[in-house]
Structure 1
């Protein structure tokens, strides 16, 4: 695997980018609007600049697709079949509201699959990542990383992860059809996948808009922990799509 030789450095980059984001967090957050009317802050821009510089130094021959790059830059970067996929601040709206539910996401895409990745939750100082040994790990604060693994489906009912702000009728319909639901919990997009990876949740149905950079790192962590992400028809979920927009999907143990 290509990712294994970069794994520790990539995780460090997500943590450092998270520290940069937190430097802006306690002050007044100024918000600008991008062409698509989505918000962007100085923290997004600063974290993106740092990540792009560090990845270019780490692996000069691997191009970078980032949420904050131009459409043309991203399309060119994805042409070769091996590229970094970056969301420097996933959850900008939550960041602006200061909910603490935002992350730094970096994944390596090879062909149309996530080969490895790292996520850092700056407000909680918690990280999830795939390591050199191919396994998935979680680190809280400055503690030692611990290996994580999906759990067998519990007999007393599944824990579903679903968005508070982006729930759709299709999502509710899917949840209603599950045999037994114990609890519904919420988290940011990438962390939803990690909750399944660490064995505290079981399924994440997403019947709403997401982009590849929102979930690729979490998908990599979930894969390494023994889980999966599939399209809603059960077919394989792929990356390097022309517009980087995701179809509806279901992540599970």
Structure 2
């Protein structure tokens, strides 16, 4: 399969997983806790089963690193090409009755995300992108191109986590920057707000795993944005323990003006 076909496969699986997640939410579910005290539900496991089955049927022998499988002890080795799957990103939003939860399916090649899909089960919307090609938003079966924006003159729209983060660290990071507004979102939808040109900056100071960020990073980079460590390096994949350092997501850079990022 070429990358367009792989992206379409990921989009179809994210859509199927989202349908199952909605069905489970409608009929009710039990909330459990994993060893790290994070929450998990039947919806997480059912969505992951759909995605894993679909990837392995279409791509026999592919390497898939999936959140619930890793939690259960199935920890593969990083290969030159592998998939990262978070079947229900934002489980706290899901269990709390909110809508800011997502299905993340991303592909890594040589340590870099190359394509990804972020599904929004509550609305049926899908975000997808191939780095170096472009990004789109799909609603009602129709795909529309999206692009990150250059920060407007009135200042940055900053998105932050609804449930995670250090307010003092965020305040220090934003000091000296012109901030027009601060908006809270859950899950990987924060990346998507930047990708579709609705926000400019998302700093993340806290623990995240690679399956949380691979797919939305691919969408954002495909839309012209960037995801960087605090040292200014592109966030990469296949790290020990699958854990990310702190990072910052940016919208589009103004030509010749790094300062336009804030």
TM-score w.r.t. the length of structure 1 is 0.93
Number of equivalent positions:
249
Q: Per-residue deviation at 1:132?
A: 10
Q: Give 2:192's aligned residue.
A: 194
For 2:2 and 2:170, the matched residues in 1 are separated by 36
Q: Give 1:99's aligned residue.
A: 98
1:178-199 Cα deviation digits (max 9, x unpaired): 2x11111122231111111111
Q: Give 2:172's aligned residue.
A: 173
Q: Give 2:123's aligned residue.
A: 124
Q: Per-residue deviation at 1:134?
A: 2.4
Q: Per-residue deviation at 1:149?
A: 0.7
**Contact 1:4–1:132 under 8 Å retained in 2:** no
SS at match of 1:74: coil
Segments of structure 2 that go 5 or more residues without pairing to the other structure are 252-262
For 1:131 and 1:115, the matched residues in 2 are separated by 6
Q: Per-residue deviation at 1:175?
A: 2.0
Q: How large is the Cα RMSD of the aligned pairs?
A: 1.7
Structure 1 moving runs of 4+ over 3 Å: none
**Contact 1:114–1:216 under 8 Å retained in 2:** yes
SS at match of 2:192: helix
Distance 1:90 1:81, change over 3 A: same
SS at match of 2:211: helix
For 2:247 and 2:195, the matched residues in 1 are separated by 16
For 2:164 and 2:36, the matched residues in 1 are separated by 18
Segments of structure 1 that go 5 or more residues without pairing to the other structure are none
For 2:234 and 2:28, the matched residues in 1 are separated by 43
For 2:52 and 2:141, the matched residues in 1 are separated by 27
Pairing 1:45-194 to 2, within 5 Å after superposition = 45-70=45-70, 72-76=73-77, 78=78, 80-130=79-129, 134-140=133-139, 142-168=140-166, 169-178=168-177, 180-194=178-192
**Contact 2:118–2:188 under 8 Å retained in 1:** yes
Q: Give 2:248's aligned residue.
A: 250
**Contact 2:85–2:106 under 8 Å retained in 1:** yes
Q: Per-residue deviation at 1:28?
A: 2.5
For 2:205 and 2:159, the matched residues in 1 are separated by 12
Q: Per-residue deviation at 1:105?
A: 0.3
1:89-135 Cα deviation digits (max 9, x unpaired): 00111111110111000000111110100011111221100159921
Q: Per-residue deviation at 1:143?
A: 4.7
Q: Per-residue deviation at 1:16?
A: 0.7
For 1:162 and 1:8, the matched residues in 2 are separated by 30
